[in-house]
Every structure is written in C-alpha cells, then in structure tokens.
Amino acid sequence: MSIIINLDVMMAKRKKGLTELAGEIDITLANLSILKNNKAKAVRLSTLDAICKALDCQPGDILEYVMDAGPPEDNQQE
C-alpha cells in the first residue's frame, strides 16, 4: 500500500503510550494498535482528528504517501 501510517513515530515524539492515547481518543487498544502497526485499511476522519488533537500534530505528520515500486524496467529490444 502506498500510504504509510507513522503513528508510532508521533507517539514516540510526544512520549505517549498506546494505552494512554487510546484512552484520550476513546478508541479500543486493539484498533489503535492496528493503526500504529500500519495494518489499517482505512482511517475515519474523526479518528484522525482525535489523534491529531491528542498528539498536537497535523495529519501529514501521521500519514505519508510513498510511491509503489513497480516491476523493474528491463532493457527490452523491440
């Protein structure tokens, strides 16, 4: 997937643990762990909003777009 969730980085910068953040934003520990470990397939904007408020950051601090590496280009002769 091309979107990377850097929640663990922001949590470390703010010195917040998983349990503390989960309590602050009212999300289950399991769901927050899925986000933190970059296993989520989707993120609700309300959840992203709550995370940004709790960590005092911008969505771009948490979400990152990385271009997928496609198949290697071979020197094909035509």
Note whether residue 77 is domain-resident.
no
Neighbours of 45 (CB within 10 A): 8
With a pLDDT cut of 70, the percent of the chain lying above it is 86
Note whether residue 78 is domain-resident.
no
Note whether residue 76 is domain-resident.
no
Note whether residue 32 is domain-resident.
yes
**Does residue 69 or residue 24 have the better pLDDT?**
24
DSSP-derived 3-state class of residue 35: helix
Please report the DSSP string for 45-72 in residue order: HHHHHHHHHHHT--HHHHEEE-PPP-SP
Note whether residue 72 is domain-resident.
no
CATH number for the domain including 12?
A: 1.10.260.40
Give me the number of domains the chain comprises: 1
CA angle 25, 18, 63 (to 5 degrees): 70
Domain that holds residue 35: 3-65
Note whether residue 31 is domain-resident.
yes
pLDDT digits (tens, 9 = 90+) for 40-63: 999 999 999 999 999 999 999 999
